[in-house]
Chains A and B, each alone.
Chain A
């Protein structure tokens, strides 16, 4: 299939606010056709031009004067912003009476054709120097340049819009996923002065969508829709892969009932979820769009060079400067990052509050003198073994830890944001401690009856 068809189809799949600003491949192709006929009219078909330009390149490289005609493809170098490509040709002057010299030598034939169109300008180095402005070529670069500029501006606007929507969404999500302290009047903060660490209890009842949102975000992070962060393959995914994974995520959310009223109790949560999915679809579309435009630009420049024999502009020539992408990172990546730094942290993630030793929530949280944090259960085990060094930094502070090392602020935070996990961990801790006590007394904790 021709690229122009593939390209048109790709754009047709995208929302109009994107596709309307795309690189106009067909129009650019038309301008190349015009340029080709313009050159043909001057007798400068691709083969002729190729030879002339090659001689021009050789002459410039050797710094010597060569026989025969030569040409250079150049651009105006005023900083006017407009791109004016032109051909500069040097040809041997014709015999005194041009009408009599009727030989079919390439240079003369070319010159005769040219003389009919462009008056020779200067006589230099015994050669006639002719400058031919290339109108269609100028139009080509103008169109491509302004399109890419407009495109980049447009994407900046879209980015601003994205960020705005994301901010709103963030407010909604944080509002509908409030912690226990907000939804339950029975929540009281503990402190070192008023509480006994042994008496800490957690209430898990809550009328917020905290847990549904946490599950949604965890699933989202695990699906790695746009980029992988594993040890082996840290990379951006292809458009197809992103599309597949986004669908997989959407399906999973539906499958687990996370989009329904059962789990997302608040109507504004359900709306927010749709908005979240939309933002992700938008990122995917931008990714498709950027790829299509980059491909269209590459293809059209290749076509330009192939059809006319005019070489692709140097990296630092005016057209190349106008065509260069204006940003370093691609927009999809910026958007994914924005999403990851703005929205996702609204819900604290369990991984950030896990004990490094048992990998469960670090409840009750004990902060060692060195600053590292573990759950009380793991530290008690270490103390019983006589292990003195902090698992993280080997500072000899484990045995010195006591109830004054309880991190009360964090303890309250965990009760507030992880009521279910904290409750469960508390139960596990107690069960495990009871078991160890029995074992220490020489009794089998699995025996049915311990009272004789």
Chain B
């Protein structure tokens, strides 16, 4: 089936005028599948890291949310070992008015503001709650180890 106009438009804008710190490029053989990178936000333990993600637009998009997953290992209470992300707008709070761009900006914001009270990775969340300084240290280590390009 032909690619909907909306996806074409979104892709064009992502390439021509990318959001700061974010890149997203579609696969040549599957225009619904995007290779994404997100820069760790300044002031977060993920600063200076470049994180790889994959993003897939299901058939029902934009009625249904895109599927987004971290490919780079990351120590974050809302991201699990498989790279799955706990973010409300990717689930029940999805709205068809949201876009690839806004989703990725939200993921970037999640890196700045971890939410250990709604964890996807319970061990990391526990670490963050009990010893935030130490946990951020591990996040920094992992960033240097896995996300330094």
Q: Name A's B-contacting residues (CB within 8 A).
A: 230-232, 356-360, 378, 381-382, 385, 387, 389, 391-392, 394
Say yes or no: is B109 at the interface (Cβ < 8 Å to chain A): no
**B41: min CB distance to chain A, Å:** 16
Q: Which of B88-134 contact A (CB under 8 A)?
A: 95-98
Q: For the complex, what is the distance from the CA of A394 to the CA of B95, rounded to whole Å? A: 8
Q: Is the CB of A378 within 8 A of B95?
A: no
**Interface residue from B5, B18, B97 paired with A356 (Cβ < 8 Å):** B97
Say yes or no: is B20 at the interface (Cβ < 8 Å to chain A): yes
Residues of A within 8 A of B20 (CB): 231-232
Q: Is the CB of A359 within 8 A of B97?
A: no
Q: Is the CB of A357 within 8 A of B97?
A: yes
Q: For the complex, what is the distance from the CA of A385 to the CA of B95, rounded to whole Å? A: 13
Say yes or no: is B27 at the interface (Cβ < 8 Å to chain A): no
Q: For the complex, what is the distance from the CA of A230 to the CA of B18, rounded to whole Å? A: 9
Taking A232-B20, A357-B6 as known contacts, 13 extra A-B pairs with beta carbons closer than 8 A to each other, sorted by chain A number, are: A230-B16, A231-B18, A231-B19, A231-B20, A356-B96, A357-B62, A358-B6, A378-B96, A382-B63, A389-B95, A391-B95, A392-B95, A394-B95
Q: Which of B1-55 contact A (CB under 8 A)?
A: 4-6, 9, 16-20
Q: For the complex, what is the distance from the CA of A392 to the CA of B95, rounded to whole Å? A: 8
**B102: min CB distance to chain A, Å:** 12
Residues of A within 8 A of B63 (CB): 357, 381-382, 385, 387
The main secondary structure of chain B at its interface with chain A is loop
Q: For the complex, what is the distance from the CA of A389 to the CA of B96, rounded to whole Å? A: 10
Q: For the complex, what is the distance from the CA of A203 to the CA of B114, rounded to whole Å? A: 55
- Chain B residue nearest to A389 (CB atoms) is B95
Residues of A within 8 A of B95 (CB): 389, 391-392, 394
- Chain B residue nearest to A229 (CB atoms) is B17
Q: For the complex, what is the distance from the CA of A381 to the CA of B62, rounded to whole Å? A: 11
Residues of A within 8 A of B19 (CB): 231
**B99: min CB distance to chain A, Å:** 9
**Contact (A232, B18) CB under 8 Å given A382-B63, A382-B96, A391-B95:** yes
Q: For the complex, what is the distance from the CA of A360 to the CA of B62, rounded to whole Å? A: 13
The 8 closest A-B pairs by CB, nearest first: A391-B97, A230-B17, A391-B95, A359-B6, A357-B96, A391-B96, A356-B97, A359-B9
Q: For the complex, what is the distance from the CA of A443 to the CA of B80, rounded to whole Å? A: 41
Q: For the complex, what is the distance from the CA of A357 to the CA of B4, rounded to whole Å? A: 11
Q: For the complex, what is the distance from the CA of A171 to the CA of B60, rounded to whole Å? A: 46
Q: Is the CB of B4 within 8 A of A358?
A: yes
Q: Name B's A-contacting residues (CB within 8 A).
A: 4-6, 9, 16-20, 60, 62-63, 95-98
Please list 19 pairs of residues, one from A and one from B, whose beta carbons are closer than 8 Å in the complex, sorted by A's number: A230-B17, A231-B17, A231-B18, A232-B17, A232-B20, A357-B6, A357-B62, A357-B97, A358-B4, A358-B6, A358-B62, A360-B5, A378-B96, A385-B63, A387-B63, A391-B95, A391-B96, A391-B97, A394-B95
- Chain B residue nearest to A387 (CB atoms) is B63
Q: For the complex, what is the distance from the CA of A387 to the CA of B62, rounded to whole Å? A: 12
**A196: min CB distance to chain B, Å:** 27
**B91: min CB distance to chain A, Å:** 13
**B30: min CB distance to chain A, Å:** 20
Residues of A within 8 A of B18 (CB): 231-232
Residues of B within 8 A of A356 (CB): 96-97
- Chain B residue nearest to A378 (CB atoms) is B96
Residues of B within 8 A of A378 (CB): 96
Interface centre among A378, A385, A389, A391 (most CB of B within 10 A): A391
Q: Is the CB of B97 within 8 A of A358?
A: no
Residues of B within 8 A of A394 (CB): 95
**A285: min CB distance to chain B, Å:** 29
**A367: min CB distance to chain B, Å:** 15
- Chain B residue nearest to A372 (CB atoms) is B97
**B101: min CB distance to chain A, Å:** 9
Q: For the complex, what is the distance from the CA of A232 to the CA of B63, rounded to whole Å? A: 29
- Chain B residue nearest to A355 (CB atoms) is B6
Residues of A within 8 A of B98 (CB): 391
**B143: min CB distance to chain A, Å:** 24
Q: For the complex, what is the distance from the CA of A289 to the CA of B17, rounded to whole Å? A: 31
Q: For the complex, what is the distance from the CA of A223 to the CA of B149, rounded to whole Å? A: 35
Residues of B within 8 A of A232 (CB): 17-18, 20
Residues of B within 8 A of A387 (CB): 63
**A83: min CB distance to chain B, Å:** 48
Residues of A within 8 A of B60 (CB): 385
Residues of B within 8 A of A231 (CB): 17-20
Q: For the complex, what is the distance from the CA of A12 to the CA of B60, rounded to whole Å? A: 61
Q: For the complex, what is the distance from the CA of A360 to the CA of B16, rounded to whole Å? A: 20
**Contact (A392, B97) CB under 8 Å given A359-B9, A381-B63, A385-B63:** yes
**B23: min CB distance to chain A, Å:** 12
Q: For the complex, what is the distance from the CA of A356 to the CA of B62, rounded to whole Å? A: 10
Q: For the complex, what is the distance from the CA of A373 to the CA of B18, rounded to whole Å? A: 27
Q: For the complex, what is the distance from the CA of A391 to the CA of B95, rounded to whole Å? A: 5
Residues of A within 8 A of B16 (CB): 230
- Chain A residue nearest to B60 (CB atoms) is A385
Residues of B within 8 A of A389 (CB): 95
